[in-house]
Amino acid sequence: MIQELSYIGIGSPHAEDWRRYGTELLGAMLAPDGPDGAVRLAVDDVDYRIAVHPASEDEFRYAGWGVANETDLHAFASHLESRGVTVHHGDAELLRERQVAGLVWFEDPWGLRHELSWGKAATPLSFRAGRTMRGGFVTGEQGLGHVVFQVPDIARADHFYVDVLGFRLSDRVTVGAGGADSTVDVRFYHVNGRHHSLALAELPGHVGFNHLMLEVEHMDDLGRLIDLLDEHDVEIVQSLGRHTNDLMTSVYIGSPSGLQIEYGFGGLAVDDLSWVARTYTRPSYWGHKRSAAAQAALPGIVKPLAAEAR
Ligand code: FE
């Protein structure tokens, strides 16, 4: 059973820019570089959770999901194989790079790579925020944060992520007529107390990585990030607002690599025993206004699918 979003990796020609962006703006801590020169960031005592690999174009590389232990990893790998998923076993080199004790990986129907691992390295009392902060990031049992992917077919994606991978639906946001006529069709899934560790948004003909959400413990650390945006020449993609479903007060900002970062405070924790999925017709109570530039561009690191892959 997947229990947390453990880490993520992207590739980018602007990987170096994350040294300043990741620390002085986001407040993460610089970890030692990866073997390929990847810029790596820690947001808690896990030695690193975000890797930006040098690459010729902005690209999603992998999402790392944590399972409890070695037994669970083996059981999950067997389960995936029994459902027809091709499972690759990480070699010693990959385990060293990801700093985990065991790892398997596979791809979703559109080639998004997911890694399952256990035993990720952590150093107690090692985290120091990259800028002045009142507190730290909300991680622990809720993992790194959440990731949102665009997928061309939400029904097919839901089948893979729920029926095969075991993500549990938290709720949906649909705007428009529903089904193929919806202008917005997003599903949110939990694997622990965090309201969602994964969301999938339908974008016909495309696949991609829309945003990574990082949650801070204190509203002041969200406010100060907004104050620092001008100094870092980073644009707001969606203005400060509060979501209807996870109650997160957040702002969406650009990054050096096309990926959006949602920086939030005050997210809801769900109790799986009593949780009932709802359908909301709007994503936010207030705010989250998209900038003109954001409305004109593809959201995040998004690629059109080749015709045969649609
Ligand atoms: Fe989000």
List, for residues 110-135, the tens digit of each pLDDT value.
Answer: 999 999 999 999 999 999 999 999 99
At 298 the pLDDT is 86
When pLDDT is cut at 50, 70 and 90, the band that residue 219 belongs to is very high
Name the phi and psi angles at 66, rounded to 5. Answer: -95, 135
Ligand 1 geometric centre to CA of 163 (Å) = 23
Is the distance from CB of 268 to CB of 195 less than 8 angstroms? yes
Q: How far is the CA of 188 from the centre of ligand 1 (A)?
A: 9
Lowest mean pLDDT among 33-47, 165-179, 213-227: 165-179
What confidence category does residue 37 fall into, taking pLDDT thresholds of 50, 70 and 90?
very high
Give residues with Cβ within 8 angstroms of 213, minimum separation 6. Answer: 145, 146, 147, 148, 248, 250, 261, 262, 263, 264
Residue 34 · residue 97 · CB < 8 Å: yes
Mean pLDDT of 246-266: 98
Query: What distance separates the 2 farthest-apart alpha carbons in the chain?
Result: 52
**In whole angstroms, how far apart are CA 292 and each of 123, 142, 211?**
43, 33, 18
The per-residue pLDDT of the chain, averaged, comes to 95
CA of 248 to the centre of ligand 1 (A): 8
Residue 299 has pLDDT above 90, yes or no: no
> Given a cut of 60, is residue 13 above it in pLDDT?
yes
For residue 215, report the distance from its CA to the centre of ligand 1, in Å: 10
For residue 211, how far is its CA from the centre of ligand 1 (angstroms)? 7
CA of 303 to the centre of ligand 1 (A): 20
- Please say whether the beta carbons of 1 and 67 come within 8 A: yes
Q: What is the mean pLDDT of residues 280-298?
A: 92
Q: Please check whether the two domains, 2-118 and 140-309, share a CATH topology.
A: yes
Give residue 49's Cα distance to chain centre.
11
The whole-angstrom separation of Cα 59 and Cα 57 is 6
CATH number for domain 140-309, candidates 3.10.180.10, 3.30.70.20, 3.30.1330.50, 3.40.50.2300: 3.10.180.10
Q: What is the pLDDT of residue 180?
A: 54
Taking the domains of the chain in order of start, what are their residue ranges? Answer: 2-118, 140-309
Ligand 1 centroid to residue 146 C-alpha, Å: 7
pLDDT tens string 147-198? 999 999 999 999 999 999 999 999 999 987 655 556 788 999 999 999 999 9
Ligand 1 midpoint to CA 290 (Å): 14
Q: Is the confidence at residue 245, as pLDDT, over 70?
A: yes
Q: How many degrees, rounded to 5, is the angle at CA 170 between CA 297 and CA 266?
A: 75
Residue 267 Cα, ligand 1 centroid: separation in angstroms? 10
Q: Are 161 and 266 contacting, i.e. CB atoms less than 8 angstroms apart?
A: no
CA of 263 to the centre of ligand 1 (A): 9
Res 177: pLDDT:
60
Per-residue model confidence (pLDDT) at position 178: 54
Structural class in CATH, domain 2-118: alpha beta
- Does residue 216 register a pLDDT over 90? yes
Mean pLDDT of 10-37: 98
Residue 212 Cα to ligand 1 middle (Å): 7
Distance 2 CA to ligand 1 centre (A): 19
How many angstroms is it from 93 CA to the middle of ligand 1? 32
pLDDT exceeds 90 at position 244: yes
* Ligand 1 centroid from CA 246, angstroms: 9
pLDDT, tens digit, for every residue of 232-242? 999 999 999 99
